[in-house]
Structure 1
Amino acid sequence: MGTVRAVWLAGHDREYEEHIRDNLAEFAGALGDIAPVEFACTAWRLSVAPASSPGYVRLHRRILELSCVRNEWDGTLIARANLVSPWPAALDWPRDWCRDENWQDWPDLFGQFVHPAERDIAKMPYLRASVLVEAPVPFTDLPPAPEHADQDVPGAARRAVSVLVRQLDALLTPIVEKLETRAGAPDAR
């Protein structure tokens, strides 16, 4: 298997910074915050949002969703990722629970896992397994939140997202590699 990356930068800095400038209002509550967490979470949300096409951050095909949120308990940074997973071993074999139903896994469209269409669900049953990852992410390397909107908010957002990409890739790549290995195993579907 080649090198697997879970999260990487794929967009252009200039386009991303323009996108940030167009959405400065999103940062209103994070500017001047002593902790960089809320600012980084906002920058992250704008980096993976569909509106930021062609997209500044790319995710491995197994990652359905990846968000960064502020922990309400202590203000730290938490990553939440939902990943496509093979069926659990208890359901994969033996398949006596199927009762000859033609259960379907995640649809794969042009190499991407997608949700099945309503018309498909009306015809056959689906069992789509996923794994929810919730983990703390160190925030000590994040740049400080700018004090005001007239400071370099786009540059700080780009730097924050770069740090998050590095940390989230380190966190999720071993999990993605294991899921890819399991899915490609001879006894896997």
Structure 2
Amino acid sequence: MSTQQAFWLDNRHDREAGESGAGRYAETLFANLGEFEGTWGDIAPVSFACAAWRVATPPISSPGLVRWHRRVLSVSCVRNTWDGSLTAGVTLVSPLPDALQTTRTWWRDRGWQGWPEVFGQFVEPAQQDLAKVPYARATLLVDAPLPLEGLPAAPDDPDDHLVDTAHRALTVMVAGLNELLTPIITQLESAP
């Protein structure tokens, strides 16, 4: 994994964490078949892909098969209700906007803090810290369509190659998200 890559599949951890030899994601898929209700046999691949994504990410899987860069706080993939396309919603840790950095008069010696980091990961400030100093934590919200090319058709039922089809859907979605977000994360990481 490149240090700037936005998303990746952690297949090695998935294989090692599984109890049945099929991998943890396969086990989680079958334990969460309700997520796929209404997607079986659907000729449009989006609803199935979104269900596969939900099962591969927190809170259903933690850690999930899909992993992401430290600047990614949350990500969702949903079916657009307007045209049925695939839409990603991503929240990224961002520096303060320029309007707040050109002058620090608003700062007024109050000890303002930005995003706390623990072992290189951005985290929420602890309650004890919030009792002492104020925090201004900027985020960047990205809502964007993902390409449908390459998404597999939904299986007819859970016994119809569910694991392979879900994994292919995740691979396509991760590639689309990387194409979209890796340049943004690279820019954020190189910002002073």
Mark yes or no: TM-score above 0.5: yes
Q: Which residue of 1 aligns with 2:76?
A: 67
TM-superposed CA distance for 1:3, in Å, is 4.9
TM-superposed CA distance for 1:53, in Å, is 3.7
Task: Provide the TM-score with structure 1 as the length reference.
Answer: 0.91
Correspondences of 1:7-156 after superposition (within 5 Å): 7-11=7-11, 12=14, 14-156=23-165
Q: Which runs of 5+ in 2 are unaligned?
A: 16-22
% identity of equivalent residues: 53
TM-superposed CA distance for 1:173, in Å, is 0.3
TM-superposed CA distance for 1:64, in Å, is 0.1
CA deviation digits over 1:122-165, x for unaligned, max 9?
A: 21111000000000001121000011222111211111001111
The total of aligned residue pairs comes to 182
Residues 116 and 122 of structure 2 are in contact (CA less than 8 Å); yes or no, is this contact kept in structure 1?
yes
Q: 1:179 aligns with which of 163, 168, 188?
A: 188
Q: Which residue of 1 aligns with 2:19?
A: none
Structure 2 CA distance for aligned equivalents of residues 85 and 54 of structure 1 = 23
Structure 1 CA distance for aligned equivalents of residues 147 and 62 of structure 2 = 28
Residues 54 and 60 of structure 2 are in contact (CA less than 8 Å); yes or no, is this contact kept in structure 1?
no
Structure 2 CA distance for aligned equivalents of residues 10 and 102 of structure 1 = 39
Greater RCO, 1 or 2 (C-alpha within 8 Å, sep 6+): 1
Residues 57 and 63 of structure 2 are in contact (CA less than 8 Å); yes or no, is this contact kept in structure 1?
no
Deviates most, 81-90 or 18-27? 18-27
Q: Which runs of 5+ in 1 are unaligned?
A: none
